[in-house]
Amino acid sequence: MAQRTFSIIKPDAVSKGHAGAILAEIEKAGFKLVSIRKQTISKQQAQGFYHVHAARPFFNDLCEFMSSGPIFLMVLEKENAIADLRKLMGATNPANAEEGTIRKMFAESIQANAIHGSDAEDTAAFEIAYWFAGYELL
Ligand code: CMP
């Protein structure tokens, strides 16, 4: 059965002009784009989105970074979407990402790592509902 996941093309990749190439990799891998929106988010919106990381030392820098410029917010759909997108993205730290993954190709650093993808069904449900209204997901 088709599954949905949430993804972000992060400010580093958008500012370097990699958004189209990343979308092409995602579509080539069989994901359907259910919804997509370009937006510059506030630091407060980033803090709410990343609330599970609030106690981490990198939390403030991460929220500053995510609100530093336009991003693409996306809902993607395919069989096994959550795990398959994580595999396509590669390791969080691009230094550890495998050849052919989006982070290997486009990420700069562990923070400016080009793309986000939900890590489980419950986080995907939270993240989709955080950014998109039901009528945008038909
Ligand atoms: P993301 O998949 O969006 O989920 C949380 C983000 O925190 C992660 O990608 C990175 O951008 C960032 N992150 C994770 N670990 C670190 C770290 N050790 N130092 C800085 N940023 C990190």
Domains and CATH numbers, the chain: 3-137 (3.30.70.141)
Best residue among 7, 58, 71, 96 to mutate for probing ligand 1's pocket (most ligand atoms within 8 Å of CB) is 58
pLDDT at 1: 85
Q: Which amino acid is at 129?
A: A
Binding-site entries: 10, 58, 86, 92, 103, 113
Predicted pLDDT at 73: 99
Q: Which helix (H) or strand (E) holds 99?
A: none
Question: Residue with the nearest Cα to atom 10 of ligand 1?
Answer: 111
58 touches ligand 1 (CB under 6 Å)? yes
- State whether the beta carbon of 116 lies less than 6 angstroms from ligand 1: yes
Phi-psi category of residue 125: left, alpha or beta, with phi > 0 → left and psi -120 to 50 → alpha = alpha
Counting as low any pLDDT under 70, the low residues of the chain are none
Q: Give the β-pairing of 32-39 and 2-9.
A: unpaired
CB of 123 sitting under 6 A from ligand 1: no
> How crowded is residue 59: how many other Cβ atoms within 10 Å of its Cβ?
16
Output the pTM of the full model: 0.98
- How far is 135 from 138, CA to CA, in rounded Å? 6
